[in-house]
């Protein structure tokens, strides 16, 4: 073991760490000369200063959020800026308290600079997510309140865009936390980006059915649906010929926030209208002929 340790090269001293160590050593030597009461008072003053600083930071953040809110800035941008300001202000507060104990500003900056490279290598993923958050706020592929589908794996309503991650609330009230780096480098669908969406419904009807009658029945249900756009030009068409049925399609525009309730209600109304008018919706079947 001693032979192995002897072969290890000497680690170079980090300038910033060395300066801070010397500063702390000087502070310790100075405080030895001071009475314990004076040193204790320094700690008390530092604690009081920290508590006051916390309240000042809260006041500044609250005032900043109010100001940004009046400027009609999107809520996700406000949240992101508030997080950055919070980190900066607490950093300044700690910097000032350290200075009150006699630690030189150059020493603190040196250790922060030398530690920055180490932390950068250790937290590459976090930095990538931070960059992704900035990119999301700049390009705005989605905002708080939008319903998005991420890489066909996760979907939900965006509830929060933080510094390194974004939160989604699923339809079954679960929270999905996705790193911003992932969101900035993947395919996603924003289903609520536009004010209206196109409903598509496909129904199989028997080959014995009258296509014109089927079209009239479906258009009648569309006409009676209050959420369908009046100028959307609803379209009913024969989409394809299946093994056991003709595939009839319906396309119509509806307000985005009324999409699902309208689609489900139309499905029910069309089925009830077909039953009432004797339109058969066949299920897959096979005719077997014995020779």
Distance, C-alpha 51 to centroid of its chain = 33
Q: What is the CATH number of domain 12-122?
A: 1.10.287.1260
246-255/175-179 β-pairing: unpaired
- Report domain extents, the chain: 12-122, 141-190, 196-276
Distance (Å, whole) CA 221 – CA 200: 14
Q: pLDDT digits over 22-41, tens only?
A: 555 555 555 545 556 666 77
Order of all β-strands in the sheet with 147-150: 175-179, 165-169, 154-161, 147-150, 188-190
200 forms beta bridges with 251
Q: For 77-126, what is each residue's pLDDT tens digit?
A: 777 778 778 888 887 887 777 766 666 556 566 566 655 555 555 555 67
| Predicted model pTM | 0.57
Matching fold, domains 12-122 and 141-190: no
pLDDT tens digits, 210-252:
999 999 999 999 988 888 876 667 899 999 998 889 999 999 9
As separate numbers, helices (DSSP H) first and strands (DSSP E) second, the chain gives 9, 8
- Round to whole Å and give the CA distance between 130 and 75: 18
CA dist 272 and 228 (Å) reads 19
CATH no., domain 196-276:
3.30.70.100
141-190 domain in CATH 2.30.30.60? yes
State the pLDDT at residue 16. Answer: 46
| CA atoms of 102 and 27, how far apart (whole Å) | 6
- The DSSP code sequence of 157-191 is EEEEE-SSEEEEE-TTS-EEEEEHHHHHTS-EEET
């Amino acid at each position: 073991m001693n032979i192995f340790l002897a072969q290890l090269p000497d680690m170079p001293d980090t300038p910033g760490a060395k300066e801070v160590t010397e500063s702390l050593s000087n502070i310790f030597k100075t405080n030895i000369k001071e009475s314990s009461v004076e040193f204790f008072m320094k700690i008390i003053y530092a604690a009081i200063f920290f508590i006051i600083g916390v309240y000042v930071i809260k006041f500044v953040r609250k005032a900043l959020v109010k100001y940004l809110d009046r400027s009609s800035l999107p809520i996700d941008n406000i949240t992101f800026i508030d997080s950055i300001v919070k980190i900066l202000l607490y950093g300044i507060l700690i910097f000032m308290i350290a200075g009150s104990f006699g630690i030189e500003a150059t020493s603190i900056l040196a250790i922060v600079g030398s530690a920055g490279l180490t932390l950068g290598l250790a937290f590459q993923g976090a930095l990538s997510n931070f960059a992704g958050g900035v990119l999301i706020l700049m390009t705005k592929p989605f905002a708080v309140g939008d319903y998005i589908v991420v890489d066909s794996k996760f979907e939900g309503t965006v509830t929060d865009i933080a510094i390194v991650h974004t939160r989604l609330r699923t339809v079954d009230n679960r929270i999905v936390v996705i790193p911003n780096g992932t969101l900035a480098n993947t395919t996603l669908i924003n289903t609520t980006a536009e004010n209206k969406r196109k409903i598509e419904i496909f129904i199989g009807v028997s080959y014995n059915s009258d296509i014109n009658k089927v079209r009239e029945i479906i258009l009648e249900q569309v006409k009676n649906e209050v959420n369908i756009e009046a100028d959307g030009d609803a379209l009913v068409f024969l989409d394809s010929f299946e093994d056991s049925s003709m595939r009839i399609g319906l396309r119509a525009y509806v307000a985005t926030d009324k999409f699902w309730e309208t689609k489900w209600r139309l499905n029910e109304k069309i089925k009830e209208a077909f039953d009432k008018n004797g339109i058969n919706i066949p299920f897959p079947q096979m005719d077997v002929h014995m020779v």
